[in-house]
Structure 1
């Protein structure tokens, strides 16, 4: 027991160390955004066509900290990150961390809802396809997964708006309602963007679940359980799904990063005020501190999700601990 605990701790420590190194590298790249972008960011912010005075240019450079050496700027920015300080918006002086704190929960809620929708659709369909292998049902579900993977989110979103909002008038086409004001309406407005974002993931989960379940069904221990007279439902629920869970967790974890990227289109389409909407607005106004903070937050979330998936691996399959020590 002690050896298993120590091996788990060693794997966890190594994974956290790798994640921290990745965060530092990404933070360095994000810091470089202002220097690799074409043009002078100060002139872009002030408006080159307005011919700003040298005093205004110098004041803006001092406000952004661009009057200091690059090494000093980098050290100051990294020190601020360690204290949770992403700087201030150049348009209104509002702390970037506060902007992120206001918008991040809505993006996380949308991503979580999309994962729930995807798993609620994909896992049952994948199990049915595996149990009906070679039948018409299997062919139909396989075709569904192919369509779901290849269909862009903006096309699917438009189709869902036409069907459920304009044709059937069941759901609102866009907009956001605060949960504290009207919880039912909040979830009604969340459903269409979550379905749009989760449909493609559900197709991937369907295919992975089908493949994993078929692989486990062909194992010797399943034949033994059947020979002993165990009911098929119990075999599937207690033994097959547990062993097939790791590939499913893998595809969900890997696709979560894509979901974070997909929220840019979905949030814009459904007017959902999340982190991606904040990023688009910051890019359009050349608000570089906000752009840097949002990109770093999204990258950090992606790294954290991958780390969480690795930890779930350890819980689902102890053999992984022994192999990776």
Structure 2
């Protein structure tokens, strides 16, 4: 038992170090964003057609810290990042951290709700499809997965709005309600955007579950268990599904990571005030501090999710833990 804990600790330490290096590289690229984008950021912020005065340009450069040497700016920027200080919005002086704090929970809630919908739909559908391979049930499941992967999310969202809001009047078509004001209405307004995102994700999860299950079902140890008289239910739930879990966890983790920055269309369609919508608005207005803070936050979440998935591998399959240590 002590050896297993030691190997898992070594794996965790190595993965944490890798995640920190990745985050440092991304932070450096995000800092370089202001210098690689075309045009002078100060003139873009002040309005290239307004012919700003030299005094206004100098004041904006001082406000953004662009009047200092690049290495000094980089050192100060990294120091502020370590203290979770992303600066202030160049338009209203509001701290970027407060913007992120207000939008990030909504994006996380939508992403988690969507991935939960995808798991609830996709995993059982993939299991049933694998166990009923070649039957009409398998054909229907495969067809549903194909439709889910091929239909764009904005079309699917529009169809859900027409069906469940305009015709059936079950759910509101868009909008946001704060949980503290009305919890029931909050979740009612979450259902449509969550299902819009989750249905498409469930298709890839279903196909991965089916493929992984079929691969494990063809293994020799499954035939041995059947020859020993073990019930099919016990074989599937205790042995097959556990061995098939790693590819399923992989696709779920990747999808959840992609959702951190991939909720833009759905947030805009359903008027859901999340971080992705905030980031798009910041890009269109050249609000560089907010763009840098938003991108770095999303990247950090993506790295954190991948780290969690990698560590979960070692818990699901000790053989992977031993190979990596």
CA distance in 2, matches of 1:239, 1:227: 15
CA contact (8 A) 1:205 1:251 kept: yes
Per the TM alignment, residue 129 of structure 1 is displaced from its structure 2 partner at its CA by 0.4
1:280-291 alignment runs, 5 A limit:
280-291=280-291
Does 1:58 find its partner at 2:58? yes
Does 1:17 find its partner at 2:21? no
Report the counterpart of residue 49 of structure 1 in structure 2. 49
Aligned pairs, how many?
A: 325
Q: Please give the TM-score of this superposition, normalised by the length of structure 1.
A: 0.97
CA distance in 1, matches of 2:49, 2:243: 64
Q: Deviations over 1:78-135 (max 9, x none)?
A: 0000111111111111111111111111100000001100000001111110111011
Secondary structure of residue in 1 paired with 2:260: helix
Secondary structure of residue in 2 paired with 1:26: helix
Does 1:6 find its partner at 2:6? yes
Stretches (4+) displaced over 6 A: none
CA distance in 2, matches of 1:227, 1:187: 49
Q: Please give the TM-score of this superposition, normalised by the length of structure 2.
A: 0.97
Structure 1 residue runs of 5 or longer lacking an equivalent are none
Report the counterpart of residue 146 of structure 1 in structure 2. 146
RMSD: 1.3
Q: Deviations over 1:159-195 (max 9, x none)?
A: 1111111122111111001111111111111111111
Report the counterpart of residue 279 of structure 1 in structure 2. 279
Report the counterpart of residue 163 of structure 2 in structure 1. 163
CA distance in 2, matches of 1:208, 1:190: 27
Report the counterpart of residue 184 of structure 2 in structure 1. 184
Further displaced range: 143-152 or 300-309: 143-152
CA distance in 2, matches of 1:315, 1:8: 8
Report the counterpart of residue 298 of structure 1 in structure 2. 298
Further displaced range: 165-174 or 254-263: 254-263
CA distance in 1, matches of 2:147, 2:79: 47
Q: Deviations over 1:37-80 (max 9, x none)?
A: 11111111111222222111111110000111111111100000
CA distance in 1, matches of 2:265, 2:94: 26
1:303-314 alignment runs, 5 A limit:
303-314=303-314
CA contact (8 A) 2:129 2:137 kept: yes
CA distance in 2, matches of 1:184, 1:224: 51
Further displaced range: 6-15 or 293-302: 6-15
1:188-207 alignment runs, 5 A limit:
188-207=188-207
Q: Deviations over 1:231-289 (max 9, x none)?
A: 32232222221111111001111122222232011111111000001101211221110
Q: Deviations over 1:124-158 (max 9, x none)?
A: 11111011101111112112112211221111111
CA distance in 1, matches of 2:310, 2:122: 22
Further displaced range: 263-272 or 222-231: 222-231
CA contact (8 A) 1:197 1:262 kept: no
Q: Deviations over 1:25-47 (max 9, x none)?
A: 10011011111111111111111
1:18-97 alignment runs, 5 A limit:
18-97=18-97
CA distance in 2, matches of 1:236, 1:144: 23
CA distance in 2, matches of 1:158, 1:37: 35
Structure 2 residue runs of 5 or longer lacking an equivalent are none
Secondary structure of residue in 1 paired with 2:262: helix
CA distance in 2, matches of 1:17, 1:200: 34
CA contact (8 A) 2:174 2:271 kept: yes
Report the counterpart of residue 122 of structure 2 in structure 1. 122
Per the TM alignment, residue 229 of structure 1 is displaced from its structure 2 partner at its CA by 3.6
Per the TM alignment, residue 223 of structure 1 is displaced from its structure 2 partner at its CA by 2.9
CA distance in 2, matches of 1:262, 1:323: 34
CA contact (8 A) 2:122 2:205 kept: yes
